[in-house]
Structure 1
Amino acid sequence: MSGPARAPRRSARAHDAVLAAAVALLEEGGLAHATVDAISTRSGVSKATIYKHWPNRTAVAAEAFGRRMAGAAALPDTGSARGDLTEQVRRTSEFLASGAGRVFGQLLAATVGDPGAAAYLRDHFLTGRRAASAELWGRAMARGEVRESVDAETATDLLLGPLVYRLVGGHAPLTGTDADAVADAALNGLLATP
């Protein structure tokens, strides 16, 4: 086979190796552990190649994290808006309280001042999570259980934003009881009255 046909496969293998190395390093020591030097050493891919495909280590880590977490959370289906949305808040709280949640917090903090890396976190992780929440909201809307004037984006921010704030601020716990209290407070303002 000719060289040009092999190059994309070689590039895809290098891309996968970089992301696998970044995932392993994130799991071992968080974002601080996932330096470009460490990713290069672990993956066997040169730093020049890494920088050819990503603007910095935070972008690599954000894409790797998104790949690792893809499909990690199935949508709840309790048959009611209150049940589904409360369970979604609980699951998000559990995630944020886990080791993966701490890595997410590190990535979130690192991307605040880095729009390029922020796009990777958004594209490879947040967009999928927000789409799942929008699906739950759409189901609730179709059943007539929520206010039609509230869109999925706003509902997601109201339900899940407090949890991220707790993760970043560290001012309150991320327990199941606390998640239920957050969901209850938000839903009492969001659910349609019978």
Structure 2
Amino acid sequence: MALRSESSRKSVLQATIDLLGETPPGPVSLQKLSIERIARQAGVSKMTIYRWWPNKAALVIDSFIENHIAQTPLSKEGRAVDALRAHLVSLTKVYAGPEGRLVAQLLGECQFEPATLDAFKEHFWRGRQEAVAELIERAKAEGDLREDVPSNTIADLLYAPIYFRLLLQTGELDVDSTLTHVEAVLRGIARQGS
């Protein structure tokens, strides 16, 4: 029974991503996506979906996380600043595609639904924030970043332009512009003499 349940859960997560994706059966906007449609696509009942998720937003967030974490790793190998660069490049590549449009829709939804914002922070943002802070602290310990700049400020400096371009579409969301920005930030927060 547990194997069957896990199989159904994975089918629901995949159906959600498929419906929100760019190729058929998608694209369906987050606003037009329904639990009924997800259930039909996954071949399960609505009750099966509600057994695992309290609402559509929670399901979409879990679907997003399932795909996102694997595509945007935070390496524990090598120098921490190199791991930060690689992570930000992978994030840019992912956000330049359909997943970026999904994140933009989710963040838009969060502005009107406090429960959705809380779920997004709880299930996605806080975990990533902690992992990035750990990486930044490691870069400080390795002597590459200034110790007097708080880790959350460094993270804001590195991530804000990606989310700004994603949400406001003020410029290309590409690897070259991301690396240009990352290098400028890293030079500004590099430990003196590094």
Q: The TM-score by the shorter chain falls in which range?
A: 0.7 to 0.9
Of 24, 46, 52, the match for 2:18:
24
Paired AA for residue 20 in structure 2 = L
When residues 14 and 170 of structure 1 are mapped into structure 2, their CA distance, relative to the original with a 3 A threshold, is same
Letter in 2 for 1:70: I
Q: 1:87-108: per-residue Cα shift (whole Å, max 9, x none)?
A: 3332222221122222222222
String of CA shifts for 1:50-79, please: whole Å, max 9, x gaps: 345434322211111111223222335553
Structure 1 91/15 Cα, relative in aligned 2: closer, same or farther at 3 Å? Answer: closer
Distance 2:117 2:3 in 1: 28
Q: 2:88 matched to which residue of 1?
A: 89
Within the alignment, does 1:129 sit opposite 2:128 as a pair?
yes
Q: TM-score, normalised by structure 2?
A: 0.79
Map of 2:113 onto structure 1: 114
Residues 11 and 42 in structure 2, CA contact (< 8 A), matched pair in contact too = yes
Counting matched residue pairs gives 187
* RMSD (Å), alpha carbons: 2.6
SS at structure 1 position matched to 2:146: coil
Quick check: 2:36–2:46 contact (8 Å CA) kept in 1?
Answer: yes
Indicate the residue corresponding to 2:69 in structure 1: 70
Aligned pairs (5 A) from 1:47-66: 47-51=46-50, 53-66=52-65
Which structure shows the bigger proportion of residues in helix conformation? 1
Separation in 2, partners of 1:10, 1:88? 34
User: Kindly tell me: are residues 105 and 173 of structure 1, through their superposed partners in 2, closer, same or farther at Cα, counting changes over 3 Å?
Assistant: same
Q: Which residue of 2 aligns with 1:3?
A: none
SS in 2 for 1:70: helix
One-letter identity of the residue aligned with 1:29 = P
Shift in CA distance, 101/43, structure 1 to aligned 2, threshold 3 Å: same
Question: What's the CA shift for 1:9?
Answer: 6.9
- Which region of structure 1 is more displaced relative to structure 2, 132-141 or 72-81? 72-81
Give the gaps of 5 or more residues in structure 2. none
How high is the TM-score relative to the length of structure 1?
0.79
Cα offsets for 1:136-161 (capped at 9, x unmatched): 21220111221212232221111011
Structure 1 residue matching 2:62: 3-state secondary structure: helix
* Overall identity of the aligned pairs, in %: 29
Asked if the contact 1:93/1:176 (under 8 Å) is kept, the reply is yes
Whole-angstrom distance in 1 between the partners of 2:191 and 2:134: 18
